[in-house]
């Protein structure tokens, strides 16, 4: 099965049906020049492979272009091959590196399941048409090389070759390019006047070997079945999962936890055999006469630690239980007022009665996404610190599952004079370990707020309160008389009474940021009332109003 | 009892308190005036409670959490440097001395903590995790979950009312995790508790320099209960130290005349 325009087809599939009619080229950027790698639709206007994009635009103004992505193309081809495993277990995918790709399906012995070779080929063709791979050509032959040659030469139709004896007869009229040889070799052959395979077969093997090397003869022999061509088959994925069906309905929580532990043990054994760790785990509790309760857990790094996985499940199920409880409360208030739902019992009871009012009939745990995990090599003396860091990370993971990603924050200082902008939520917790060390080195980012490389430098020399109000509240302050409305605070209204200020430090002026129209110039004072409480207040210079911003607790 | 050793040509004396504090499972403030109140050291794997009057508590919580998280094996002493000053002992942050700083989790449902101030007090923000639960139920759950974590760090949380069962649950979680829990409660809500130590903190009038707090041990086995200590934060340097109490000094006769 040959896909001569695989890059184009893949781009089209990605872009959807809307741009069906527009001409498309795939371009590759080489040293500031964009060279066309594959052409579709615009070929009629004279756009050829190897042109620059500017030339192509000049010929065909309406042209669309996409960046060449050989790795993505190869992956996509492998995905298509994986889909084709339904026809035969041996599927090999090869991508040329430019635009074309091909799949070999070894259907030996599989035709009986489809009622013969012809229906099988028809089904493959239908599948390709369904995937809108119209340019694909399918050919069937006793050898992989002959199939490729037929697909290359035959214009889109399914060709079927009967037996091996007639093979050289069928291949003889085909052009030499059909032998999967390098373009320069084919060009050299054509230069010598050798245009078809038949002409090539008449030449002596010795002279061909001397002139063109072993590659050409190998391809020729492979096409004719004289030399073997091993196919590297795509390895099928087997899903990782474990299921336990109960004989009856089970409602006891201890039993369920036990089952979950057992299933996780199975998963971990499977993952360890593959050398992988889970990135996403789905759990499904099957219930009688009700849809199953499903929950999926995303992990920030691949893990196959049974204790960690079990703890994550525990958190996730508490979350499910709370959601169900809320739902039940809502419906309970409406309809079953007298049913007496027990709310506010201990968590274990609540799971018993709310999550599984009738018990479960089965538990299924699957790992749809897993990744290779490598055991980290750590120094012996750092083992304790490493274990601490790992525990801490799994804690953050558990917290995020229940509270949401936004509720778990790693603070980081930001270079800004405006107090509330002097820190921000740091790096996302998703990326893996080594955070204890890496957190000290910020990344210089452009714009208003840039993180600071040296943590010592941006700690303000003036004291800041530990307790900063999320929103400053307006307060009334009595100010010492002065001519320019900028007197120092003398007394403050707090709790409905006037409190004299025993000590005040300031003002610390924080000017408005000229690029931000919302901030105003503030004069900060640290004030202490008679009992010793200290507040951080500021006066907005423009409006002369006072606000409480923090408490030195 | 004193242990006297001689190495490097110098004679070193170690007090019994210091030896006990160096033991696993116990940490000390590293601030002599406070360590004197709790000579046996503060236990790891337990909850310590701060009853804070209005306008106080967070600084003392940071002092407590910092002592609990700075370096495991040397009993929390690696973080602080002793300096004899005219007023007593000072503690100073010395970052280079911190060995394996333990993580610090701050449960902050009301979004009040200001991390730059934390950094100014010498806490490395790289090991701080701020947890901001959306409601009270999540908050209690998060505190228990953090305490149960075997990372061995400290968890600081403000809690309002706490039932006896709730307090006991947190203590059990801390025992399971082995870390230190620091609970801040308003002083008027002092109810049931299962904490290992209990401190009463209130603001005290300053003498014009640094801000002062009155710290008193209310409950703690083997501790000196009812002896207030005054802590002072120097405004210029951010150093926490013990300050002598403010006393009414008799005004000299000449001045009165």
Assess whether pLDDT exceeds 90 at residue A122.
no
Rounded mean pLDDT, A169-177: 77
Assess whether pLDDT exceeds 50 at residue A161.
yes
Decide: A106 and A231 in contact? Cβ < 8 Å: yes
CATH level 3 topology of A240-383: Dna Ligase; domain 1 (3.30.1490)
Give, as one character, the DSSP assignment of residue A166: G
First to last CA, chain B: 52
Angle of helix A183-191 relative to helix A205-212, nearest 10 degrees, comes to 120
pLDDT grade, residue B143 (50/70/90)? very high
- Residues of A with Cβ-Cβ distance to B153 under 8 angstroms: 388, 392
Assess whether pLDDT exceeds 50 at residue A442.
no
> What percent of chain B stands above pLDDT 90?
9
How many CB pairs lie under 8 A apart between chains A and B?
171
> What percent of chain A stands above pLDDT 70?
73
pLDDT grade, residue B202 (50/70/90)? very high
Assess whether pLDDT exceeds 90 at residue B182.
yes
- Cα A227 to its chain centre, rounded Å, is 43
Q: Who contacts B241 (Cβ-Cβ below 8 Å, separation ≥6)?
A: B31, B85, B87, B88, B89, B90, B91, B231, B232, B234
Neighbours of A476 (CB within 10 A): 11
- Residue to mutate among A343, A350, A393, A466, with most B CBs inside 10 A, is A466
Environment class of B10 (CB within 10 Å of its CB; exposed 0-12, middle 13-18, buried 19+): exposed
Angstrom distance (rounded) from CA A319 to CA A293? 12
Q: What is the pLDDT of residue A380?
A: 62
What the block records as the tokens of A315 is 């958190």
CA dihedral B6, B7, B12, B14 (to 10 degrees): -90
pLDDT grade, residue B48 (50/70/90)? very high
Phi-psi group of A68: left, alpha or beta (phi > 0 → left; psi -120 to 50 → alpha; rest → beta): beta
Q: Report residue B71: phi and psi, to 5°.
A: 75, 120
Q: What is the pLDDT of residue B201?
A: 92
B130, A408: Cβ pair inside 8 Å?
A: yes
Domain boundaries, chain B: 40-245
Q: A188, A119, A393, A184: which is closest to B149 by C-alpha?
A: A393
A410, B130: Cβ pair inside 8 Å?
A: yes
What the block records as the tokens of A513 is 């940021």
- Residue to mutate among A410, A463, A524, A548, with most B CBs inside 10 A, is A463
Q: What is the ipTM of this complex?
A: 0.78
Angstrom distance (rounded) from CA A186 to CA A165? 26
A439, B205: Cβ pair inside 8 Å?
A: no
The overall average pLDDT reported for chain A is 75
Assess whether pLDDT exceeds 50 at residue A219.
yes
Distance from CA of B145 to the nearest CA of A (A): 8
- Residues of B with Cβ-Cβ distance to A411 under 8 angstroms: 115, 118, 125, 128, 130
Give, as one character, the DSSP assignment of residue A288: T
Q: B195, B200, B223: which is closest to B35 by C-alpha?
A: B223
Chain A residues 415-444 with CB within 8 Å of chain B:
419, 422-423, 426, 435-436, 439-440
Q: Which residue has the higher pLDDT, B157 or A215?
A: B157
> What percent of chain A stands above pLDDT 90?
1
The overall average pLDDT reported for chain B is 76
B116, A391: Cβ pair inside 8 Å?
A: no
Top-ranked range on mean pLDDT: pick from A21-25, A196-200, A432-436, B41-45: B41-45
B130, A409: Cβ pair inside 8 Å?
A: yes
Angstrom distance (rounded) from CA A533 to CA B203? 6
Q: What is the pLDDT of residue A95?
A: 78
Architecture of domain B40-245 in CATH?
3-Layer(aba) Sandwich (3.40)
The β-bridge relationship of strands B26-27 and B42-43 is antiparallel
Rounded mean pLDDT, B15-25: 51
> What number of CA atoms fall less than 13 Å from residue B236's CA on the CB side?
2
Q: Which residues pair with B155 in a beta bridge?
A: B105, B181
Angstrom distance (rounded) from CA A133 to CA A80? 11
Domain boundaries, chain A: 240-383, 409-451, 467-552
Rounded mean pLDDT, B34-61: 87
Decide: B232 and B212 in contact? Cβ < 8 Å: yes
CA–CA distance from B249 to each of A388, B228, B246 (Å)? 52, 19, 9
Angstrom distance (rounded) from CA B62 to CA B56? 12
- Residues of A with Cβ-Cβ distance to B126 under 8 angstroms: 410, 435-436, 439-440
Helix H or strand E segment including A78 = helix A70-84
Rounded mean pLDDT, B6-14: 62
The β-bridge relationship of strands B211-220 and B197-204 is antiparallel
A465, B117: Cβ pair inside 8 Å?
A: yes
Rounded mean pLDDT, A25-38: 69
Q: Is the peptide bond before A507 cis (omega within 30 degrees of 0)?
A: yes
Cα dihedral B146, B147, B148, B154 sign: positive
pLDDT digits (tens, 9 = 90+) for B75-111: 334 334 333 333 434 444 444 344 557 888 999 888 8
Decide: A537 and A463 in contact? Cβ < 8 Å: no
A466, B117: Cβ pair inside 8 Å?
A: yes
Neighbours of B198 (CB within 10 A): 21
pLDDT grade, residue A379 (50/70/90)? low
The β-bridge relationship of strands A24-30 and A64-67 is parallel
Helix H or strand E segment including B4 = strand B2-7
Angstrom distance (rounded) from CA B97 to CA A330? 56
DSSP string, B10-75: EEEEEEHHHHHHTSTTEE--S-HHHHHHSTT-EESSEEEEEEE-TT-SHHHHHHHHHHHHS-TTTT
Q: What is the pLDDT of residue B246?
A: 59
User: Which residue from B112, B119, B129 is facing A413, i.e. has the nearest CB?
Assistant: B119
Phi-psi group of A124: left, alpha or beta (phi > 0 → left; psi -120 to 50 → alpha; rest → beta): alpha
Angstrom distance (rounded) from CA A24 to CA B123? 57
B145, A399: Cβ pair inside 8 Å?
A: yes
The β-bridge relationship of strands A450-451 and A411-415 is antiparallel
Chain A residues 336-395 with CB within 8 Å of chain B:
384-385, 388-389, 391-392, 394-395
- Cα B71 to its chain centre, rounded Å, is 15
Angstrom distance (rounded) from CA A160 to CA B192? 87
Distance from CA of B9 to the nearest CA of A (A): 30
User: Which residue from B111, B126, B149 is facing A391, i.e. has the nearest CB?
Assistant: B149
Q: What is the pLDDT of residue B224?
A: 85
Q: What is the pLDDT of residue A489?
A: 86
Angstrom distance (rounded) from CA A290 to CA B227? 64
A467, B105: Cβ pair inside 8 Å?
A: no
Rounded mean pLDDT, A383-407: 80
pLDDT digits (tens, 9 = 90+) for B147-181: 988 877 899 998 877 788 888 888 888 888 888 99
């Amino acid at each position: 099965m040959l896909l001569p325009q695989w890059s184009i087809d893949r781009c089209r599939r990605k872009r959807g049906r809307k741009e069906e009619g527009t001409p498309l080229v795939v371009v590759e950027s080489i040293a500031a020049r964009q060279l066309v790698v594959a052409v579709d639709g615009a070929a009629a206007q004279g756009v050829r492979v190897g042109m620059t994009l500017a030339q192509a635009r000049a010929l065909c103004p309406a042209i669309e272009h996409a960046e060449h992505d050989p790795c993505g193309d190869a992956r996509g081809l492998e995905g298509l091959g994986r889909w084709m495993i339904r026809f035969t277990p041996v599927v090999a995918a090869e991508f040329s590196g430019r635009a074309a790709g091909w799949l070999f399906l070894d259907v030996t012995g599989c035709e009986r399941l489809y009622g013969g070779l012809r229906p099988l080929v028809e089904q493959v063709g239908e599948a390709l048409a369904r995937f809108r791979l119209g340019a694909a050509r399918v050919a069937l032959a006793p050898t992989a090389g002959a199939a490729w040659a037929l697909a290359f030469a035959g214009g889109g139709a399914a060709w079927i070759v009967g037996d091996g004896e007639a093979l050289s007869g069928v291949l003889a009229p085909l052009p030499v390019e059909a032998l999967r040889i390098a373009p320069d070799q084919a060009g050299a052959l054509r230069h010598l006047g050798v245009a078809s395979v038949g002409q090539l077969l008449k030449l002596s093997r010795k002279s061909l070997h001397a002139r063109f090397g072993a590659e050409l003869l190998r391809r020729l022999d492979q096409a004719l079945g004289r030399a073997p061509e091993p196919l590297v088959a795509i390895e099928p994925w087997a899903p990782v999962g474990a299921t336990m069906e109960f004989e009856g309905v089970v409602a006891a929580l201890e039993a369920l936890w036990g089952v979950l532990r057992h299933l996780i043990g199975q998963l971990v054994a499977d993952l360890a055999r593959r050398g992988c760790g889970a990135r996403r785990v789905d759990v499904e509790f099957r219930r009688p006469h009700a849809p199953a309760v499903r929950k999926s857990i995303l992990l920030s790094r691949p893990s196959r630690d049974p204790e960690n996985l079990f703890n994550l499940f525990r958190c996730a199920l508490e979350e499910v239980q709370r959601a169900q409880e809320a739902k039940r409360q809502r419906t309970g208030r409406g309809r079953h007022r007298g049913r007496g739902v027990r709310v506010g019992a201990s968590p274990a009871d609540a799971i018993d009665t709310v999550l599984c009012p009738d018990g479960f009939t089965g538990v299924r745990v699957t790992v749809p996404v897993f990744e290779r995990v490598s055991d980290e090599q750590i120094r012996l003396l750092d083992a304790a610190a490493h274990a601490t860091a790992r525990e801490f990370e799994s804690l953050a993971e558990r917290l995020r599952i229940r509270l949401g990603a936004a509720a778990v924050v790693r603070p980081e200082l930001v270079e800004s004079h405006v107090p509330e902008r002097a820190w921000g939520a740091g790096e996302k917790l998703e990326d893996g370990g080594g955070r204890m060390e890496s957190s000290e080195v910020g990344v210089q980012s452009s714009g208003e707020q840039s993180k600071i490389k040296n943590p010592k430098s941006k700690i303000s020399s003036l004291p800041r309160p530990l307790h900063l109000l999320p929103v400053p509240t307006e307060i009334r302050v009595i100010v010492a008389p002065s001519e320019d409305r900028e007197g120092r605070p003398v007394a403050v209204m707090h709790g409905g009474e006037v409190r004299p200020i025993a000590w005040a430090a300031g003002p610390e002026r924080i000017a408005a940021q000229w690029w931000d129209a919302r901030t105003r110039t503030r004069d900060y004072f640290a004030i202490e009332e008679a009992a010793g409480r200290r507040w951080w207040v500021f006066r907005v210079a423009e409006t002369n109003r006072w606000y409480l911003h923090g408490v030195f607790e | 009892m004193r242990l006297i050793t001689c190495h490097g040509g110098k004679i070193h004396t170690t007090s019994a308190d210091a030896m006990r504090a160096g033991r696993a499972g116990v940490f000390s403030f590293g601030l002599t005036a406070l360590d004197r109140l709790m000579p046996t050291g503060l236990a790891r794997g337990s909850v310590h409670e701060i009853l804070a009057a209005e306008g106080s508590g967070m600084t003392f919580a940071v002092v407590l959490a910092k002592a609990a998280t700075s370096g495991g094996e040397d009993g929390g002493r690696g973080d602080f440097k002793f300096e004899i000053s005219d007023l007593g002992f000072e503690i100073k942050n010395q970052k280079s001395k911190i060995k394996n700083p333990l993580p610090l989790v701050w449960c902050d449902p009301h979004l009040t903590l200001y991390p730059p101030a934390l950094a100014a007090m010498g806490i490395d923000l790289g090991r701080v995790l701020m947890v901001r639960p959306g409601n009270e139920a999540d908050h209690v759950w998060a505190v228990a979950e953090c305490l149960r974590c075997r990372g061995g760090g400290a968890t600081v949380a403000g809690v309002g009312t706490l039932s006896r069962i709730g307090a006991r649950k947190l203590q059990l979680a801390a025992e399971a995790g082995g870390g230190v829990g620091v609970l801040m409660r308003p002083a008027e809500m002092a109810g049931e508790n299962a904490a290992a130590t209990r401190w009463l903190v209130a603001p005290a009038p300053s003498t014009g320099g640094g801000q002062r707090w009155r710290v008193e041990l209310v409950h703690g086995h083997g501790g000196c209960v009812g002896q207030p200590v005054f802590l002072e934060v120097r405004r210029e340097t951010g150093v926490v130290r013990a300050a002598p109490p403010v006393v009414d000094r008799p005004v000299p006769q000449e001045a009165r005349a």
